[in-house]
Structure 1
Amino acid sequence: MSRLEAFRQPKLAPAAIGKQRGMTLVELVITIVIIGIAAAALFSAMASIAGRSADPMLRQQSLYIAEAYLETLQALPYMDLDDKHELAQGEGGPPKGLDGEVIPELKAYRVRTRIIEEEFNEVTAKRIIVIVEDPSEEKLELTGWRTCYGEDGCPL
């Protein structure tokens, strides 16, 4: 073997001659542009979602507070259910626990309640309205009804 034969390129197998190796510069640039456009669209969508992510949490927390107040007021005896009850907050204020103390973690919320006595088809009922205002000043209102179930002192 001569010295020049060592520097020659090896012969390719017949099957490897027609195969492409790698990408052209044009293909690479097009791929980068497509990935860049997709990433920009994805990032802008994520930014708008992240900007509004606190709203559903505030709404859900308001719903939990309103449901708790409504269920607690509906569970009271019919004759004790009026605007003077300690849980009935006519003027509004921060949420209170069953012990009547303000819940410190929820003091940014405001709860108002109204209890209205009404009569339907000669049946007296009390409408309980609970309004919760979250820190972003969005209001959530729940309404429930309570009638007398044969308790002592109920109007007939």
Structure 2
Amino acid sequence: MCSRPFIPRQQGTTLVELVMAIAIAGVLVVGLMTAYSSIVGRSSDPMVRTQAISLAESYLEEALLKPYLDPSGTVCPAAPSGNRENFNNVCDYHNYSSSSITLPNGASVSGLSGYSVSISVQSIDAGDLGTVPTNCALSVVVNITSPLNETTSVTGYRTDYESTPACI
């Protein structure tokens, strides 16, 4: 019986196959790195938005905690000059704006550069608060502009519940 000697076939990859595998892997890595860099570049955006909301709520609370009427008993007299610590009623905040975040005494808050604030106070429109008369409530709108140039707005209402007789 004549048999041929068993010669094992050589197995492996050719140079062409190896170059193709490296090229495909390179394209996949570039795609993954592009997506990764986009995600990392925007990772601070939620923090900036959260900070803007917190600042807006802080200014709104400060304004709404002030009395409805001026100590002289009038609604919306001329705002006092100086810092916010001189504001003695809600209307004093009307047209307040600042290109930086400050404390009521005017001192800048470090770490919040790039944020700005503007506040608007006006009488409510009929029906805004159901049956509350328009002369008995004020709408306060606080706008915070973030370093991303996005504006966050919050609105609150201050009613005249402390007058004697009550505003009806």
Q: With the length of structure 2 as denominator, give the TM-score of the two structures.
A: 0.62
Aligned twin of 2:107: 101
Give the partner amino acid of 1:24. Answer: T
How many residues end up aligned between the 2 structures? 137
User: Which of residues 122, 141, 151 in structure 1 aligns to 2:153?
Assistant: 141
Give the distance between the partners of 2:57 and 2:144, measured in 1 at CA: 10
Which residue of 79, 82, 93 maps to 1:84? Answer: 79
1:112: how far off? Answer: 0.7
2:124 aligned partner: 118
The yes-or-no answer on 1:127 pairing with 2:131 is: no
Unaligned runs of 5+ in 1: 1-16
More helix by share: 1
> What residue identity is the alignment partner of 1:84?
A
Report the identity percentage.
31
| Alpha-carbon distance in structure 1 between the residues aligned to 2:94 and 2:109 | 14
Distance 2:38 2:124 in 1: 46
Would you say the 8 A contact 1:114–1:130 is kept in 2? yes
1:89–1:118 distance in 2 versus 1, CA, 3 Å: closer
Larger radius of gyration: 1
Note if contact 2:94-2:121 (Cα within 8 Å) is conserved in structure 1. no
Q: How large is the Cα RMSD of the aligned pairs? A: 3.3
SS class of match (2:107):
coil
Contact 2:94 2:122 in 1 (8 A): no
Q: CA offsets, 1:47-101, max 9 Å, x none?
A: 3334444444333322221111112222333325958372727241122225443
TM-score, normalised relative to structure 1: 0.66
Any unmatched runs of 5+ in structure 2?
A: 1-7, 86-92
